[in-house]
Amino acid sequence: MNLKLFRISLICAFFLLASIFPKSGFSQENAPGGKEKKFDPTTVIMEHIGDSHFWPFTFPFVKEKLIPLPVILYTDKGLEIFSSGHLMDGATYQGSYHSYKLEENKIKVVDASGNIDTTVRALDFSITRNVISMMLTAALLLIVFLNVSAAYRKREGKAPKGLQSFMEPLVLFVRDDIALPNLGAKYPKYMSLLLTIFFFILINNLFGIIPFFPGSYNLTGNIAVTAMLAVVILFTVNLNANKHYWKHIFMPNPWWLFPIMIPVEIVSIFSKPIALMIRLFANITAGHIVILSLISLIFIFQSLAIAPVSIIFVVFMDMIELLVAFLQAYIFTLLSALFIGMAIEEHH
């Protein structure tokens, strides 16, 4: 193992530990009656891998600051917009039409006595931590690729330089190792989609394991995000499929297999994107859970003696997570190109 890489990973693991657990929400505060509140690793882990109506500002040995985000609700009486700061610490907020309260990180309508009112349904369109994360990723992708595109126009015929030289090998990798082998001569039509998917997943995977990145969010570990990526591939495959693809599904050979093969082929239309969705979600979420579980051992056993063992395993998992960040971006993009290629392939 490269010693320098090991040292960097060890420092990252230490600061990850420092940045996660001194927060007010994770400390072992006194419960009512003067008893010490028992550390609950499930609460800690779920808070870090879930979405939130607050953007956490974290720094080692400094108390975490929660930045309120906009709440946008559509109720039976109309639109409600207010800051999530009104819902901090279990507070109830009286809006224009209803009262609201945060329950398990979900905004609920409550009645006059503070109980959840199940008769009123509020559709939540709030700008949450994951939404902000997607906006940041979109902005970063635009900045990077517009900059690279301008560099190619400005330096046409010259050797790549700066950000252009950094991005070119990655773009060529997606083209030569993913798009061309699976899509053949038709690859230019789908290159922008494949590049967007690859870099979107890669950037969010990497940001999710950086200890001090604001929020250290778990965007690609959110099944709603991976589901939408899978839906994009589902529509891309089936809207661009040729007649041979549909003939293979609805007219299998031999004809007497129609009753068996047609239902199987129809199921396969949806099972492929579902496999993409579950694979990315499960791998990224599992990595975060394992790392946080290892760190939680120190607080479960309430002993610093377990800390060296936990940190060594966290360093090991961090290195695996770094590999998984690239691997999952590659696999998702590769399978997407494969499924598209199967749908547009000409009959031989």
DSSP string, 101-118: EEETTEEEEE-TTS-B-T
Structure confidence at residue 13 (pLDDT):
52
* Cis ω before 254 (30° cut-off from 0): yes
Q: Cβ contacts of residue 179 below 8 Å, gap of 6+?
A: 187, 190, 191, 194, 337
Query: Rounded to the nearest 5°, which phi and psi values hold at 55?
Result: -100, 110
Q: What does the pLDDT look like over 278-335, one tens digit per residue?
A: 999 999 888 888 888 888 887 788 777 787 888 888 888 888 888 999 999 999 999 9
Q: How far apart are CA 141 and CA 193, in angstroms?
A: 13
Structure confidence at residue 19 (pLDDT):
46
Structure confidence at residue 291 (pLDDT):
83
Contact call for residues 302 and 36 (beta carbons, < 8 A)? no
Cα 205 to the center of its chain, rounded Å: 7
Structure confidence at residue 30 (pLDDT):
46
Question: Judging by beta carbons within 10 Å of its beta carbon (0-12, 13-18, 19+), is residue 20 exposed, middle or buried?
Answer: buried
Q: How far apart are CA 207 and CA 196, in angstroms?
A: 16
Please give the structure tokens belonging to residue 61: 């040995």
Q: How far apart are CA 225 and CA 205, in angstroms?
A: 12
Please give the structure tokens belonging to residue 224: 């709603």
Angle at 137 between CA 131 and CA 140, to 5 degrees: 145
Contact call for residues 332 and 281 (beta carbons, < 8 A)? no
Amino acid identity, position 307? A
Q: Name the β-bridge partners of 74.
A: 79, 123
Q: What is the DSSP letter of 30?
A: B
Structure confidence at residue 37 (pLDDT):
63
Cα 27 to the center of its chain, rounded Å: 27
Structure confidence at residue 35 (pLDDT):
55
Query: Rounded to the nearest 5°, which phi and psi values hold at 216?
Result: 40, 55
Q: What does the pLDDT look like over 123-165, one tens digit per residue?
A: 888 988 888 888 888 999 999 999 988 888 888 878 888 888 8
Structure confidence at residue 115 (pLDDT):
84
Ranges of residues in the chain with a pLDDT under 50 are 1, 18-32, 34
Structure confidence at residue 191 (pLDDT):
93
Contact call for residues 221 and 130 (beta carbons, < 8 A)? no
Please give the structure tokens belonging to residue 16: 């990850």
3-state secondary structure 42-66: HHHHHHHHCCCCEEEEEECCEEEEE
Model pTM?
0.83
